[in-house]
Amino acid sequence: MQQYDLISVLERVSELVTPSKERREKVEGLLRESLFKVESIIKDMGINAEVVPVGSVARDTWLPDDIDIDIFILLSRDFPEDKLGSVAVEVARRAFGSYTLRYSEHPYASCRVDDIDIEIVPAYKIMKGEKIVSSADRTPLHNNYLMGKLNSNLRKDIRILKAFAKSIGVYGAEVKVEGFSGYLLELLILFYGDFISLVRNAADWRPPVFIDIERIASKGEALKKFDSPLIVIDPVDPNRNVASPLSKTQFFRFVAACRALLNKPTEEMFRSRKEISFTPSRIKKELLERGTDIIVLLVEDLDLPPDTLWTQAKYISKRIRYVLEENGFRVLWCAGHTDEKSTVAVAAELESLEIPKALIREGPPVASQGERDFLIKHISDKNTLSGPYIEGDRWYVVKRRRFFNAADLISDYLSGKNAPKLVRGRKVRIVTGNEIGKVPEEIRNFIGKNLLREEVFTEMLV
Alpha helix (H) ranges present in 172-295?
182-192, 195-202, 219-225, 248-263, 280-290
Residue 422 gets the label, from left (phi > 0), alpha (psi -120 to 50) or beta, of alpha
The answer to whether 389 is a known ligand-binding residue is: no
Collapsed DSSP state (helix, strand, coil) of residue 39? helix
Helix (H), strand (E) at residue 149: none
The pLDDT value recorded for residue 4 is 58
Q: Is the peptide bond before 53 cis (omega within 30 degrees of 0)?
A: no
What's the length of the chain? 462
The phi, psi pair for 352, rounded to 5°, reads: -160, 145
The answer to whether 105 is a known ligand-binding residue is: no
Domains by residue range for the chain, with CATH: 21-136 (3.30.460.10), 149-273 (1.10.1410.30), 280-355+403-458 (3.30.70.590), 358-400 (no CATH)
The amino acid at residue 425 is G
**Residue 236 to residue 223: CA distance in whole angstroms:** 19
What totals of helices (H) and strands (E) does the chain contain, helices first?
15, 15
The answer to whether 281 is a known ligand-binding residue is: no
Q: Are 290 and 419 in contact (CB under 8 A)?
A: no
The amino acid at residue 385 is L
Alpha helix (H) ranges present in 349-405?
371-379
**Residue 370 to residue 364: CA distance in whole angstroms:** 6
The pLDDT value recorded for residue 99 is 87
The pLDDT value recorded for residue 247 is 96
Residues 159-178 pLDDT 10s? 999 999 999 999 999 999 99
The amino acid at residue 184 is L
**Residue 33 to residue 111: CA distance in whole angstroms:** 14
The answer to whether 56 is a known ligand-binding residue is: yes
* Sequence-ordered list of residues with C-beta below 8 angstroms from that of 151, at least 6 positions apart, any chain: none
The answer to whether 70 is a known ligand-binding residue is: yes
**Residue 193 to residue 18: CA distance in whole angstroms:** 19
Q: Are 252 and 260 in contact (CB under 8 A)?
A: no
How many other C-beta atoms lie within 10 A of the C-beta of residue 29?
10
Count Cβ atoms within 10 A of the Cβ of residue 349 and give its class: 0-12 exposed, 13-18 middle, 19 or more buried: buried
| Predicted TM-score (pTM) of this structure | 0.91
The amino acid at residue 295 is I
Q: Are 267 and 12 in contact (CB under 8 A)?
A: yes
Compute CA distances 55 → 148, 211, 242, whole Å.
Answer: 14, 22, 15
241 pairs with which residues across the strands?
A: 233
C-alpha closest to that of 157 among 115, 182, 194, 192: 194
Residues 3-57 pLDDT 10s? 558 999 999 999 999 999 999 999 999 999 999 999 999 999 999 999 999 999 9
The pLDDT value recorded for residue 98 is 86
Helix (H), strand (E) at residue 98: none
86: Cα separation from own chain's centroid: 27
Question: Which positions of the chain have pLDDT values less than 50?
Answer: 1
**Residue 32 to residue 53: CA distance in whole angstroms:** 9
Q: Is the peptide bond before 107 cis (omega within 30 degrees of 0)?
A: no
The answer to whether 378 is a known ligand-binding residue is: no
**Residue 177 to residue 380: CA distance in whole angstroms:** 52
**Residue 457 to residue 240: CA distance in whole angstroms:** 32
C-alpha closest to that of 346 among 453, 408, 245, 431: 431
CB contact burial 114-125 (16+ within 10 A = b; e otherwise): eebebbbbbbbb
The pLDDT value recorded for residue 1 is 41
The pLDDT value recorded for residue 275 is 84
The pLDDT value recorded for residue 306 is 86
**Residue 223 to residue 218: CA distance in whole angstroms:** 9
The answer to whether 142 is a known ligand-binding residue is: yes
The answer to whether 119 is a known ligand-binding residue is: yes
Structure-derived torsion over alpha carbons of residues 75, 80, 84, 87, reported in degrees to the nearest 10: -80
182: Cα separation from own chain's centroid: 14
DSSP assignments along 44-84, one per residue: HTT--EEEEEEHHHHHT--BTTB-EEEEEEEE-TTS-GGGH
